[in-house]
Structure formats: C-alpha cells, structure tokens
Structure 1
Amino acid sequence: MIRIVLIGLWICAVALGSLFIAVRGHQPASEGNGQQASYLGGMDYVKTDVFSVPVMTGGSVAGYVVAQLVYTIDSKTKSRLAVPLEYFIHDEIFRQFYGSYSDTKQVEKVNFETVRKSVIDGINQKFPEPVVQDLLVEQFNYISAAEIREMNMKAGGE
C-alpha cells in the first residue's frame, strides 16, 4: 500500500516538474532582445484576398497573374487607417503588372524582390509615414487565356 502511494506521489512530482519546465520554456525572451520582441509583438500580418491582373500582349489578354499576398503593418497604424490598406496594395500590384510584364508567362523570371520593393515604396509614398513594413507572397501564379478557355470548355461539357 505504501509503495502505491509513493509511486503516485512520484508520478505527480514528475508531471508537475514537466509542466513547470514546459511553461518556463514558452515565456517571451528577456528584455535583452527588446527591439526584436517589440517589433514582432506590435505587428499584424494581414492576408489579402486572391486577386488577378490581366497580362496584355499584342493588344489582347494573354493571361492573368493570380496572386495572394501577406503584408505586415504596425497594429497602431492599422487602427488609425480609415481605408483598408488592401485597396492600396491591389492598386499598386495592378499598376506594376498591367501591361508591364509581357513575359510573365514564365513566373520564375519575375524578380520578386524588385516587385516587392517597388510595391512597398509605392504604397508608402501615399501616406505621410511608412505604413507597410514587409510584403510576403502567399500565392503567385500565371494562368494563360488558353488554359482558362480550356477549363471553361471542360466545365461546360460536363
């Protein structure tokens, strides 16, 4: 009987010790990393809706760039904005791609770093202080007009 009680106490002590170690391991970093902790703590990551931009070649639509992006914005700045920032992002992406990238059919040739930087700069120029901190790609595809026609033909024939 005493052995069962001691085994029970041992199991409780091990469980509480494990819980204590697990909780201490998940506590935020000390104040030594104050800048990084405050940067990550005050930022919101917002995902845009999936949107498409037509790619024009030779006066006709050759296909569409389909994208979904994630942007980072300071929480305080986001609460002060009267218009959703997503509208500005869609507008800037549309300005970047509409008629500019006739070779977008090969998505791997698009220099995302250049596009990302120019989109962030274009958005931030519309505000008195920088709003968008970073722009991340969730999805970026090119769909040709022929592929869309083919999908519509298959859907219509079923």
Structure 2
Amino acid sequence: MIKLVLTGIWICAITLASVYFSMQMAAAPRVDEEAAARAAALELVKGSQATIPVISDGAVKGYFLARLSYTANKELAAKQAVPMGEAITDELYTLLVGQRMIDVEKLDSFDVDTFRATIKDGLNKRFGEAVIDQVIIEQIDYIAKVEVKTKPARKGTNIVKNDAAAATATQSPTN
C-alpha cells in the first residue's frame, strides 16, 4: 500500500514539474528592447556595381567589379549632403586605386573583415558620425585586361569566396 501511495506522489510530482517547465518554455521570449530599437533604426541600402581600374606602371592591368550594400542609420543617412551610393563608390576607389588595399598578385592575403572595417570607418569618418553600421559584400571580382580583350565570355577571378553575408546577394554575371 505504501508503494502505491509513493508511486502516486511520484507521478504527481513528475506531472507538475513537466507542466511547470512546459509553461516556462511556452512563455513569450524576452525581447531586448535596445537591440530591437537599434535594428528598427537601420535600413538596408543596396549598392550599385562599381568597375574600378587596376593601374600599374602607368597602364590599366585589369578591373575590379565590386558591389557592396550596407546597413545605415535612417535618420543620420537622410541628413547627409552626399548621397550614400556615391560616397561608398568614392571610398571604394580610394581603397582599391589610391591605397591599393587588394594586391592582385597576392589575392590569398586579402582580409575581408579588414576591408569591411576600413570601408565602414572611412565612411563614418567622412560623414562625421556613425551612419554606417555594417558593410555587406555582394561581389568583388577581378578581370584582367587580357581577358577583356581576348575572351568574349569572361570568367574573371572571384576574390571573395563563401562570404556569409553574400548569401542573399544576387549571382555575379562574371561567375
């Protein structure tokens, strides 16, 4: 008889514990209001494709095809005198032509994260406030001038491979 009562109490305790934990798991998740407000203040701005020449020894050796998008603060972006698309294209020219951030002969040493951070920091410095939150690389390809002249169906060299941020990007016409 005592075994039967203890078994009943044990079953009741297990049932109550499982109902309690089920209700805890079914409760609405806590929302980080600060993160939600920050995400609501951002907008995705699609970039246009930029064709940037690679100049070496006074001659054009090839072209970078780059398309970047970015998340920007809506309010701060609306206040800018220079349109965002033109500003990011200018920053790309500065990095790829002026500073030669990508060395065509040493593509394996290209650091995508440093490239993103440099673009973000450069744009935010130019705007004077933290307008750009994140830079998303959709495409960075290199086409040698020889390929442009001799091959009608260009293949090019894809510089950024398996970029997680480019998962939603459109497929490159040169791939």
What TM-score does the superposition give when structure 1 sets the normalisation length?
0.69
What runs of 5+ residues in structure 1 fail to find an aligned partner? 1-28
* 1:78–1:31 distance in 2 versus 1, CA, 3 Å: farther
TM-score (norm 2): 0.63
Equivalent residue pairs, number: 127
Matched residue of 1:55: which SS?
A: strand
CA gap of 1:127–1:85, structure 2 versus 1, over 3 A, is: same
Query: Residue in 1 aligned with 2:37?
Result: 38
- Asked whether 1:55 is paired with 2:47, we answer no
What is the correspondence of 1:121-140 to structure 2 with a 5 Å cutoff? 121-140=121-140
Letter in 1 for 2:150: E
Query: How much does 1:30 deviate?
Result: 6.0
Change beyond 3 A, Cα 1:46–1:135: same
**Residue ranges of structure 2 left out of the alignment (5+ in a row):** 1-27, 155-175
* Contact 2:80 2:127 survives alignment (8 Å): no
The residue type paired with residue 137 of structure 1 is: I
Q: Report the alpha carbon displacement of residue 56 of structure 1 after superposing the two structures with TM.
A: 1.6
Q: Write the mapping of 1:74-89 to structure 2, written as runs, cut at 5 A.
A: 74-89=73-88
Superposed CA RMSD: 2.5
Q: Which has the higher contact order (CA 8 A, sep 6+)?
A: 1
- Structure 1 residues 136 and 49: CA distance shift in structure 2, 3 A: same
Assess if the C-alpha contact under 8 Å between 1:55 and 1:101 holds in 2: no
Residue 123 and residue 153 in structure 1: after superposition, are their counterparts in 2 closer, same or farther (change >3 A)?
A: closer
